[in-house]
Chains A and B, each alone.
Chain A
């Protein structure tokens, strides 16, 4: 790995951590005196930066209004406001929470399934391997997007169902890689010697094989997080993803076809979701997922 690549990876780490912190800030929420939910991020924007809710669209920097019938914007909106008068910058940052929850939720389902099945198949071999291989080939044969769509149509839309649907389907690649890696490790001398010493299979799997798979898990985590965030925008764009009303980049993009057709076009909502919200995060995750 050369210097440029190392620097790129470092920057990517920083970007992902920033998104993580923003997501956490938005996760910590409390109720105000009126009983409305209020996250730390909202508090920061409203109290510190004095960003108020407007009536409808305002352009970036809030310098002029869509029509003169509306009053002057109350606060400074660097990226303008959306149709409900919410600050677009705040909405974009809030999308990080949805992305964070989706990525962690899906990986919490997919990584254990993938690792357990892959390691068992690779380590024990024989008919166990055959059955597990059959199982993941079967799951891989079902078109991924269609499975998720069907699942969401039957169980209803919403965050939790998206997490379950994608989690149940996205473990296949990890299982395949973990199986191959375990096959390789099994033939190595340190595993053979611990078998001779008398370690149980379970302890060998836990103490010798699993730690050797950690780099694979890291790469899978980065890669599948980026896939999930893109998948969310696609599902929401079709109209079966996150419910409208919550904030996600998918919703901001899904509203864009109508907004771009207006005269003048409302471009800032779409641009900030796709180029300030999604692009840097996915780019950073993709760079982190590179092996070399």
Chain B
């Protein structure tokens, strides 16, 4: 089993490099001056060139080859100092070094991005974690009800699940804002986690119910389930020791794969309800065109996703004996 786990962890290294490369290309394929223009819309050319230098955009892209030192750049500068540097003195490798050492740099207001992320993870978590736990229980309840009840109940639940999947998130937000703000007037909508939690639960419910229903339906007609029933086991016994246990692998996968969203939060939700979490950080970075913040968030999101993937596979090894033997 340890061999399996080790192999699984080593496999993430090429994926991490791939993620870094794609993200790097996304941020660096365009002309640096054009990116500077996005950043500082009305600035004159010298200011733009200074921005390019300050953000290391004047360095060679992948490798610091000898010709880069003599090359005359669009800003009229030659870089003889490149000669003394190593071949890896380039945007790609300097960026990789920063990433490995968790040096995300500073945002537009000169604050450390990593520090901000640490601060903002907690509000995100305080909304997403309760929502996550509550929605697992509610959706498991409804999907069990759907599987073990007359056909018309199943149909009704399925239909409402599909309808709730078909409503876009902004619509949920606006409806919630309207209902909480105009009709109920119980809670202040802005800055309070409670309405955000309620909306997060309701918006995700439909998809989860559909998914768990399919998983449980597959288990319901398995032979061992029927055999156990024939031997006289009660519904509850079969449900807990056969159906839920065997359904735990797909359920575990979805649980693990939603871990990144617990920390990075939901962009729209946090922006709408004024939760100072990471989704809100993302939103303000989009509004102020803050590239370093966006880049750091892309890396963080990808890192958490890969972490979730590895944890899922490792947890399989504990739940499913077939994997342990491989």
Q: Do A and B come from one complex?
A: yes
> A residues engaging B (CB < 8 A)?
4, 134-135, 137-143, 145-147, 149-151, 153-155, 226, 229-230, 233-234, 237-240, 253-254, 256-257, 260, 265, 270, 274, 278-279, 282-283, 286-287
Interface digits, B291-317 against A, CB 8 Å rule (1 contact, 0 not)? 100110110011001100100000000
- Contact B289–A134 (Cβ < 8 Å): no
Top 5 nearest A-B pairs (CB, nearest first) are A138-B18, A143-B301, A282-B166, A274-B171, A283-B166
- Contact B22–A139 (Cβ < 8 Å): yes
Q: Does B168 contact A (CB under 8 A)?
A: yes
| Majority secondary structure, A binding face | helix
- Contact B298–A142 (Cβ < 8 Å): yes
Inside 8 A of A138's CB, which chain B residues have their CB? 15, 18-19, 22
- Contact B26–A147 (Cβ < 8 Å): yes
Interface digits, B172-187 against A, CB 8 Å rule (1 contact, 0 not)? 0010011000100000
* B294 CB, min distance to chain A CBs, angstroms: 6
Our pick among A134, A143, A151 for the contact of B264 (Cβ within 8 Å) is: A143
Q: Does B23 contact A (CB under 8 A)?
A: yes
Inside 8 A of B155's CB, which chain A residues have their CB? 4
Cβ-closest chain B residue relative to A291: B214
| Majority secondary structure, B binding face | helix
Q: Does B78 contact A (CB under 8 A)?
A: no
Cβ-closest chain B residue relative to A284: B166
Inside 8 A of A257's CB, which chain B residues have their CB? 174, 177, 272
Inside 8 A of B298's CB, which chain A residues have their CB? 142-143, 146-147, 150
Inside 8 A of B10's CB, which chain A residues have their CB? none
- Contact B22–A142 (Cβ < 8 Å): yes
A-B contact pairs, 28 of them (CB 8 A): A134-B14, A141-B19, A141-B305, A141-B309, A142-B22, A143-B302, A146-B298, A149-B294, A150-B26, A150-B295, A150-B298, A153-B289, A153-B291, A154-B26, A226-B166, A229-B168, A230-B168, A234-B168, A237-B170, A256-B170, A256-B174, A257-B177, A260-B178, A270-B171, A278-B167, A278-B168, A279-B163, A283-B163
- Contact A238–B267 (Cβ < 8 Å): yes
Distance between Cα atoms of A234 and B55 in the complex (Å)? 31
Q: A-B contact count, CB below 8 Å?
A: 124
Our pick among B30, B178, B268, B271 for the contact of A154 (Cβ within 8 Å) is: B30
> B residues engaging A (CB < 8 A)?
14-15, 18-19, 22-23, 26-27, 30, 35, 38, 155, 162-163, 165-171, 174, 177-178, 182, 260, 264, 267-268, 271-272, 282-283, 286-287, 289, 291, 294-295, 297-298, 301-302, 305-306, 309
Distance between Cα atoms of A287 and B309 in the complex (Å)? 30
Distance between Cα atoms of A140 and B301 in the complex (Å)? 11
* B186 CB, min distance to chain A CBs, angstroms: 18
Inside 8 A of A139's CB, which chain B residues have their CB? 22
Inside 8 A of B166's CB, which chain A residues have their CB? 226, 278-279, 282-283, 286
* B199 CB, min distance to chain A CBs, angstroms: 14
Cβ-closest chain A residue relative to B260: A143
* B122 CB, min distance to chain A CBs, angstroms: 20
- Contact B171–A135 (Cβ < 8 Å): no
- Contact A151–B26 (Cβ < 8 Å): yes
- Contact B170–A233 (Cβ < 8 Å): yes
